[in-house]
């Protein structure tokens, strides 16, 4: 099993450009999440999804959009990139919390720099 796979691993953008980060999981998880991690800080939730076709805002959603057209994929979009969005982005997935202890499983991140 690959687990959670994120593409690309690295990307440099200019201010105002757009891009989409892709997350794919092969664990048949219902729930998927996008986080950002900045130096010396824990992870902050951007958006999440509790199932195919559903999305919801997290702690820091502004400037991002997401889509969950297929259960195994969760896309994070930046419509007009800003330097403040320079960060490392992590995707995670899990079973629904009601099915026992269900920790989130993370990908290895996408390192994004906005110039």
Partner 1 sequence: GESVGLHLPTLSVQEGDNSIINCAYSNSASDYFIWYKQESGKGPQFIIDIRSNMDKRQGQRVTVLLNKTVKHLSLQIAATQPGDSAVYFCAENIYGNQGGKLIFGQGTELSVKP
Residues near partner 1 (CB under 8 A) are 4, 31, 33, 39-45, 48, 50, 56, 58, 90, 92, 94, 96-98, 101-109
User: How is residue 50 written in tokens?
Assistant: 């509790």
CB of 13 to partner 1, least distance (A): 20
Do 23 and 75 meet the contact criterion of CB atoms below 8 Å apart?
A: yes
Q: What is the Cα–Cα distance from 113 to 95, expressed in whole angstroms?
A: 31
Nearer to partner 1, 5 or 17 (CB): 5
Phi/psi at 28 (5° precision): 60, 30
Q: What is the largest CA-CA distance in the chain?
A: 44
CB of 109 to partner 1, least distance (A): 5
Secondary structure (3-state) at 85: helix
CB of 18 to partner 1, least distance (A): 24
Nearer to partner 1, 1 or 103 (CB): 103
CB of 48 to partner 1, least distance (A): 5
Nearer to partner 1, 1 or 101 (CB): 101
Which has the closest alpha carbon to 93: 41, 51, 58? Answer: 51
Nearer to partner 1, 13 or 94 (CB): 94
């Amino acid at each position: 099993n690959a687990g959670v796979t994120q593409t690309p691993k690295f990307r440099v953008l200019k201010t105002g450009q757009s891009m989409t980060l892709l997350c794919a999981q092969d664990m048949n998880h219902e729930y998927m999440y996008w986080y950002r991690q900045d130096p010396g800080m824990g992870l902050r939730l951007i958006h999440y999804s509790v199932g195919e076709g559903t999305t919801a805002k997290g702690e820091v959603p502004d400037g991002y959009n997401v889509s969950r057209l297929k259960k195994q994929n969760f896309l994070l979009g930046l419509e007009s990139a800003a330097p403040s969005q320079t960060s490392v982005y992590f995707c995670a997935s899990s079973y629904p919390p009601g099915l026992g202890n269900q920790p989130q499983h993370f990908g290895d991140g996408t390192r994004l720099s906005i110039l």
